[in-house]
Structure 1
Amino acid sequence: MTWDNQQSIYSQPQPPEILVADGDPRLLNFLASLLRQHGYRVAEALGGHAACDALRARPFKLALLDLRMPDINGLDVMAYAATAQPDCGIIAVSGEKGFTSVSRALRRGALDYIKKPFDPEELLETVRGVLGQQSLLQNHADMQSRLEKSEALHRYIVNSSPDIVFMLDQSGRICFINNKVQSLLGYAPHQLIGARFSALLDEQDAARGSHAILDTSVSSDNPRTLEVRMKSRGSRKANRHFEITAFPIDPNTWPHPSGARDQLASQRARFYGTARDVTERKEAEAFINFQAYHDLLTRLPNRALFKDRLNLAITQARRNGQKLAVMFLDLDRFKVINDSLGHAMGDRLLQAVTRRLKSCLRKGDTLSRFGGDEFTLLLPAIHGEEDAKQIALKLIDTLSAPFRLGGHEVFVGVSIGIAVFPNAGESLDQLIQNADIAMYHVKGRGKGDYCFFSEAMSTDTANRLSMERDLRLALERDELRVFYQPQVCAKTDRVLGLEALVRWLHPERGLLYPGEFLPLAEETRLIGAVSERVLAMACQQVGQWIDNGHETLKLAVNLSPIQVEQPGFVDNLMQQLTRHRFPTRNLEIEITENVIMSDLEQISHKLRELAEAGVRIAIDDFGTGYSSLNYIHRLPIHTLKVDQSFVQDIRNSDDGACIVNAIIAMAHGLKLEIVAEGVETNAQLDYLRQLGCHQVQGFFYGQPQPAEHIARLLGELARPTILA
């Protein structure tokens, strides 16, 4: 026999096992043989005791019981079988002429009977009929059990759903709703049966929600989805937001469950729907929207919202021939208080100032926090400058009283610049800028006052003040960018290092170069913040390239005199490197000779600390400063950078290159690295190679480029293509 044949045999269902019990051994053997000949599995029991033992030992599909057995009669065996095997079918076998015993057997649960003497075909037909009847009963019981389990599972799934599940009748009344309504809204499901669904909706959404659900144009293929607010039970609970999806039910195809209550609800149901709680999402959206248009510290409108309202006010003023005023407010002495008492106290002061300023406003005025300690105020629909003047005086007066901050009594004033539409500007930007210019004029003449913008105010001064303000905001708005210029090995054309150079992506003037804003940054003492920002961005970017396989790549950064002269310069620099996990051996700081000679002793001490930590020191623009070279022996100098003005004098064998010759020769003698800046031509590069210059940088290898261009260049690690 093959394995396939064995599988087919094993997979066939076993024939039912039948118990035959009789007190006559001859008749018992005959019955058993007859049934076996027709494929049944048969167990024989001689007498009632043996029948009970067999029923106790294993299950049977059917039992043929002689009603008159000598030890225990068939009726008693039937009683035992009803307890031991209630699913076993019984056929009563009787040799009596009357039907009394058979009738009793049928009343006690026998499915059929056979009279002795019996016809074999009649017996087999009876057995087949009873087995078929049992199979039908079993199938019905199994189906009923599966149906009950399915309904129980469906009920469990519906009641365990994270959404409210409901059914409505033709008039919009609730005929079913799951248990989720209790945990979300506080209503017990039975309390809502028969109530209109609209009673659950917020008054403002009731009509819209009911009409949308009962709309005849909605179908199961195109359900209606809408967002509504639903009432919570109890006045203390806020209404919640739900996303409802509903569609009509076809009563001809809708299944009807077996439970009476569920069946009634299913018969009445004409609409089915779910309600998903989206309260958290709506609150998050509202918070995000608030964040987008408000300052979180003061809860005031921010710059974006202020500009939107100002733009609308300008349109209305132009249409109605009215005037409006824009005020630019800057707090006096705020920086002193913030630095003295700390940022937490500074934040509390800004909140207190906001409360006082708001108390002076009219309905319809817009006060916004523009940034830092600067505020802007929109006064729509004024009659003239006198109205704005009165508001300004009121603002100045309200801030003149002292503030109590954590046991401290502090004073803070305000300087106010005012621009009136249309005389001081007809556009949004003009009004804000001119109010800002007027405010700086107040600052220049003593603070604590107000001033209207006029054309007589210096345009140059205004531009400078505007640039200073923009630079402060640039640090807050992350407008500074870092470009990199490769430092290339003169022999192999391999990129050895990158000099980080700052650029300012001004929102209105485009990309600004260092010469256009660094002098102002030095003058306003913003250079430290600018340098720290550049170093942070460069460490992060170059650090990634170092981690990606360019272990020896050097980062060169320029440091301003103000930054180097700070007492905590070394600690701040090392903390930044630690914060960004940048290896000190890959950093080279560039300082000028003038910085060194301004305080040689102090600078020497700081540079030695950095050199001991592994940081390399380079002298930038070498040869353009002090002529004394004594400091080179006293300082841990690693690199000299030849100024580009000397490199530009190289003209093949022109004598103008003598300074370059001398600097390179001196660097070789002192065993220092030499970097030539401003290399633009192949002739300059060949000349520097002949002199033994170690590294070069300049437009010959490309202008300073953003990180994405440098990433492609580093991927080649060969002589790069000249960048545009």
Structure 2
Amino acid sequence: MASEYNGDILIVDDTPNNLRFLSTTLTQQGYKVRSVTDGLMALTVAQAAKPDLILLDIKMPNIDGYEVCQRLKANEQTREIPVIFLSALDEVLDKVKAFTVGGVDYITKPFQLEEVLARIETHLSLRAAQKEIRKLNGELEQRVRQRTAQLEKEIAQRMQAQERLLHIALHDVLTGLPNRAWFMKHLDHLLKQVTQQPGYQFAVLLLDCDRFQSINDSLGHSWGDRLLVSIARRIELCLQPGTTLSRLGGDEFTILLKDIKSLSDATRIAQDIHQELASPFQLGEYQVFTNVSIGIVLGSESYEQPEHLLRDADTAMYQAKAKGKACYQMFDSTMHHRALTNLQLEIDLRKALERNEFVVYYQPIISLMTNQIVGFEALVRWLHPQEGLIPPIKFIPIAEETGLIMAIDLCVMRQACLQLRNWQKEGLADKSLTISVNLSVKHFVSFNLLQQIDTILAETGLDGQNLKLEITESDIMKNPEFASQIIVQLKNQQIQFIVDDFGTGYSSLSYLHRLPIDTLKIDRSFIMRIGNKGENIGIIQAIMALANSLGMNAIAEGVETLEQLEPIKRLNCQFCQGFLFSRPLEAEAVRKVLATGL
């Protein structure tokens, strides 16, 4: 639905596909759209055109989005233009920095269209309200100069109008609750009060709805909005007079507990909220269950900025979410230390990509019919200049969280494809030998995945039939329809697909049947359970039966002993990999294996 306030929007993003998508979408919504790909050009256009709103990407050449925003706010002609940051980064510190340099909002890539349109409409409406206030004040001053009759009445009317507009600017339209601007203003006031009154204590509770996105996706945004209103009303039932509930945005709420006596005051409210939300919500004909994860932080004199307190509440909330649904977690300093450690790790990962510090190891995949190597799985390692070889378990989670996994995956793919092509040229590998590369689900929301893989195959000279892509079962099921579209297009290039970690997640058999998958990789956890007498093979047997019925092959992963291998052979599993045959090898060691055999 088009915004009621059609304004001028400047989009700043160095990714052409993002620009095209946003420009087309917003133009269809009735907005006048300008777009640039460079931060310096954005400053020039903003000063000349004075748009009503700027959508600003963070990672760009020349100068990044943070510096662009700082320069805009330092310029008298552009400081009033609201800036919404766009970024694939989703760390709390990134969000805090975005608001610190003057941004009014933060949208995480990949975009949710309804979210982008809602955020734009909110901030354009807020700016319109601010302009209206200035206009009303200007009109009032002019009329005062022209006449003195009914002056008091007019002043009162204007003040009422200003109060209404200010209320709109400081409150959430959907729930009627105070919004982020109100919350941050009052949080700053409480921090000042702590410095003036030693011993004064308050607490912030940050609440994030569990499973809200899945409810939104399945029932639609209108029902999602109704659910948010119902959640807000139930939370209010748990609060005493003087305690303020705010909506930060999306499915996040905050509670300000003033003048508390002890930590138990905050934890008791968290427990009450969990109990109140335990009952189902009735949405039309559907009964929906949801609750909240809560992060709790105590306000103290150690905090100088409200953004830092909100950052720590957010950190604690994510710890609560990691513990399971409907949990709460108090913030402690070790959490902040871990967050800083992760931030440093992210910085090091970015440098590692620039310096080509990632190397590929290769684990053989064996045919159990011929006992010959039929392929290799490419496994990434980080050769750190100070710490040496770092295993993926130490850095892949952060890479996934920050989106750097996409660049790492493509780096591994390029190295592995080039290596296999070199072995072919040397006569060590025939045309049937394949290389398997792991692919993160984040690639499935990329506009140019197909082009990137085409480029790698063209640059390395490797045929598509020699490349296999491994995608975890849980990743596929996050968006099976979109995954199917990507897989079908890549299958046209003879690229094969393997479902990794099969059996550890939840798969819809109907989707699995429709997806053009070639191979199921049996997760190593099932292989490890095989006993000395070949027992505990029921799940493996079921996976083999499923693979056979769907015309797929199977790979047993993590085979380490002969006791594990024998029952796998009896089940007619086609392929195997694990320490029993070989550990992951450096490229030079693989060259020797190909020349002489295992």
Q: TM-score, normalised to structure 1's length?
A: 0.39
Greater relative CO (CA pairs within 8 A, separation 6+) = 2
Say which one has the larger Rg: 1
